[in-house]
Structure 1
Amino acid sequence: MTTSRNGRVGRRPGGPDTRGEILKAARDSFADKGFTATSLRAVAREAGVDAALVHHYFDSKDELFIESMALPVDPRQVAARVLDGPPEQLGRRIATVFLGVWESPDGQTRMKALFRSVVTSDEVARIMREGITQMILQPVSQTLDVPDAQLRISLVATQLIGVALARYIIELEPVASADLPTLIDRLAPVLQLHLTG
């Protein structure tokens, strides 16, 4: 709450970075509570603005989620980085790129929010599944030149999801505190086995 020049007390009006503050409050809420338990009203309260201002910038909670969960990297660039190199090193590149996104503080906050929201909302899960399949999984599976490429890529995804849950969400030791190069060294051959074994 703030006091305006005319002495009225209330939520502050929109400022130059109000939209950014709303997005940050939304990211934090999605990370802490998941999709279902986050409300536009609560996000407004956390951002210190009137709920009508949140509705001014975002038509729905879905739209707020999609914008606030903007990944630290473009999924199409992720696919390009993963595919840039010899096929026998594909598992290592996937592990390096995926865990690299999680290792930055901003990336970790966004990815935690994404994971929690996916498991609490069928609609968010559908949106993410479709987007990730279209932008990452299909381009990678098309390079494998095997009849069960989609199954292989899906198995890689399950392995990555499991490691992310154990390391960043559940914080299962010693996976949670293992240094990144060691984790990549252990994970890469398993991913490569799914892909080309």
Structure 2
Amino acid sequence: MTARRPGRRTGEPNTKDEILTAARKLFSESGFERTTLRQVAQDAGVDVALISHYFGNKRGLFVASIEFPSDPVAVLAPMHECRIDDLAEVGLRAVLGVWTSPAGPAVVARFRQAVASGETDLIRDLLTGVILAPIRERLHDQTDLELRLSLYASQIAGLLVTRELLTLPAVVGTDIDRLVEVVAPNLQRYLTGKI
């Protein structure tokens, strides 16, 4: 058996799990914005480069640490390319697309579990640090941006609750195109209109 050199560990069989354990703890205690990859690496006893190797970046690590079954960054990628006036529609279609995809039940179950177990900080950080990020980047010079984003998020969360948790028949029975037609204009007003 070869003696291990002192210093930070390189990738070993349990390394990825240990990184995730450290990340969950730090994200829960400090939130998405205040947690750094260096802190996670230090707590896990690994080189920070391993986090990039396994998870790409902090958002990737965060998504993996909360066991979200769909990659929000990939789902919301079209929001980086669309017209500003189409942000709400494109974002809403992306979110509804996840809910109606094979990953949808797992997404809703994870949301329900997080709320029931009091992990609301993690859900808030997923929302503000990951899901709203493309909108924040596109509208960075908009006045009252954080209020706008919060109002946008409130409508998306409300739709999730009424459609997927409470299963209100009128909302569940309405197809995605119709929901987008009805809801997106109000969402767009929150993002770029008068508030």
Structure 1 window deviating more from structure 2 (148-157 vs 92-101): it is 148-157
1:36-47 equivalence runs, <5 A: none
What residue is the counterpart of 1:149 in the other structure? 145
- Checking the alignment, whether the CA contact within 8 Å between 1:91 and 1:192 is kept in structure 2 is yes
Q: CA deviation at 1:126?
A: 1.4
**What is the letter of the counterpart of residue 99 of structure 2?**
W
Q: CA deviation at 1:67?
A: 6.2
The answer to whether residue 129 in structure 2 is matched with residue 131 in structure 1 is no
The answer to whether residue 138 in structure 2 is matched with residue 140 in structure 1 is no
CA offset digits 1:74-129 (Å, max 9, x no partner): 2222342222210011110011001000011x32211221221222123x221232
What residue is the counterpart of 2:186 in the other structure? 190
The answer to whether residue 179 in structure 2 is matched with residue 176 in structure 1 is no
What residue is the counterpart of 2:26 in the other structure? none
SS of the residue 1:174 aligns to: helix
- Checking the alignment, whether the CA contact within 8 Å between 1:79 and 1:135 is kept in structure 2 is no
Bigger-Rg structure (1/2): 1
Q: CA deviation at 1:68?
A: 8.1
Which residues of structure 2 form unaligned runs of 5+? 1-63
**What is the letter of the counterpart of residue 160 of structure 1?**
I
**What is the letter of the counterpart of residue 75 of structure 2?**
V
What residue is the counterpart of 2:75 in the other structure? 78
1:70 and 1:160 map into 2 onto residues whose CA distance is 17
CA offset digits 1:53-76 (Å, max 9, x no partner): xxxxxxxxxxxxx6684322x222
2:87 and 2:114 map into 1 onto residues whose CA distance is 26
2:65 and 2:124 map into 1 onto residues whose CA distance is 16
CA offset digits 1:4-23 (Å, max 9, x no partner): xxxxxxxxxxxxxxxxxxxx
Which residues of structure 1 form unaligned runs of 5+? 1-65
1:126 and 1:110 map into 2 onto residues whose CA distance is 19
- Checking the alignment, whether the CA contact within 8 Å between 2:69 and 2:103 is kept in structure 1 is yes
Aligned length: 130
SS of the residue 1:142 aligns to: helix
1:95 and 1:139 map into 2 onto residues whose CA distance is 13
Q: Structure 1 length as normaliser, TM-score?
A: 0.60
2:136 and 2:82 map into 1 onto residues whose CA distance is 15
1:28-107 equivalence runs, <5 A: 69-72=67-70, 74-104=71-101, 106-107=102-103
**What is the letter of the counterpart of residue 170 of structure 1?**
L
Q: Structure 2 length as normaliser, TM-score?
A: 0.60
2:83 and 2:98 map into 1 onto residues whose CA distance is 22
Q: CA deviation at 1:159?
A: 0.3
- Checking the alignment, whether the CA contact within 8 Å between 1:118 and 1:128 is kept in structure 2 is yes
